[in-house]
């Protein structure tokens, strides 16, 4: 989620606009001047869209050089609706991102699943894996310096396929905080807070359903 405030100018005439574009093409356009700017220079971006059937226009300027990119737009896919809203949240923990980054570095990622336990009582917040070298657990007490908010109403233990969680680690690497929420069905919401160089904040939200192949007897 990119808040309008992070843009110098933001104007959308319609109530909502939705289209699909090729992500690889977009990334190639955004890095057309390279992945790092020269000292004292910044890359400015202007993004325009005239409406249905028109391409997405990117105007990139760096050091007085302007590049114009046109990206063909496609019909959007129907979005999966997990019906995940704040009123249905059972457990919520806000954690400094370095804590989750350390966990992913220490736990055995040969495991097919990541097991998450959130509880008002011990172990409070536990991450577990079951890899080739055996089981591994990482516990965070509710008064840990890494935990900024702890709102757990009931004990929940759910497993999530690591293959589904791994794409979210790109956002984790850039974030400073992460909100970890679950609802009564065990659906997981990871909301990464990312602060840019100007101190402005945006969010990346990631949803994952629990592993349906795991029975309660295996927990």
Among candidate residues 44, 72, 100, the one where a domain is terminated: 72
* Mean pLDDT along residues 177-201: 90
- Residues 98 and 163 grouped into a single domain: yes
The whole-model pTM stands at 0.74
User: The domain spanning residue 132 has which CATH number?
Assistant: 3.70.10.10
Backbone angles phi, psi at 79, to 5 degrees: -80, 140
Which of the 8 DSSP states describes residue 167?
Answer: G
User: For residue 124, is it within any domain?
Assistant: yes
φ, ψ at 29 (rounded to 5°): -70, -45
Domain span including residue 203: 89-208
Domain annotation covers residue 95? yes
C-alpha 153/C-alpha 49 separation (Å) is: 45
In a domain, 127, yes or no: yes
Q: How many domains does the chain have?
A: 2
Q: In which residue are the tokens 């790109």 written?
A: 170
CB 205 within 8 A of CB 187: no
Has residue 154 got a pLDDT over 80? yes
pLDDT at 80: 63
The answer on 191 and 119 residing in a single domain is yes
Domain boundary among 40, 72, 104: 72
State yes or no: pLDDT of 76 exceeds 80.
Answer: yes
What CA–CA distance (Å, rounded) separates 162 from 208? 10
- Give domain status of residue 19, yes or no: yes
The two tokens of residue 56 are 């997405």
Residue 38 or residue 158, greater confidence: 158
| Structural domain contains residue 55 | yes
**pLDDT per residue as tens digits for the range 48-57:** 999 989 999 9
Confidence bin at 38 (pLDDT 50/70/90): low
Distance of alpha carbon 124 from alpha carbon 142, whole angstroms: 6
């Amino acid at each position: 989620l990119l808040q309008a405030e992070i843009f110098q100018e933001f104007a959308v005439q319609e109530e909502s606009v939705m289209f699909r574009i090729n992500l690889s093409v977009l990334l190639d356009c955004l890095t057309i001047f390279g992945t790092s700017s020269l000292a004292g220079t910044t890359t400015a971006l202007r993004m325009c869209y005239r409406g249905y059937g028109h391409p997405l226009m990117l105007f990139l300027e760096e050091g007085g050089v302007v590049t114009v990119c046109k990206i063909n737009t496609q019909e959007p896919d129907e979005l999966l609706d997990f019906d995940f809203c704040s009123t249905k949240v059972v457990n919520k923990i806000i954690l400094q991102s370095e804590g989750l980054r350390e966990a992913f570095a220490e736990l055995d990622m040969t495991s097919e699943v990541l097991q998450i336990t959130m509880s008002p009582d011990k172990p409070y917040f536990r991450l577990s894996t079951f890899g080739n070298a055996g089981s591994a657990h990482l516990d965070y007490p509710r008064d840990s310096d890494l935990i900024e908010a702890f709102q757990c109403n009931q004990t929940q233990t759910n497993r999530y396929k690591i293959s589904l969680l791994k794409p979210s680690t790109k956002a984790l690497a850039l974030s400073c905080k992460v909100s970890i929420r679950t609802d009564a069905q065990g659906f997981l919401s990871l909301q990464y807070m990312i602060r840019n160089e100007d101190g402005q904040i945006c969010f990346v939200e990631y949803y994952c359903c629990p592993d349906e192949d795991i029975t309660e007897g295996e927990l």
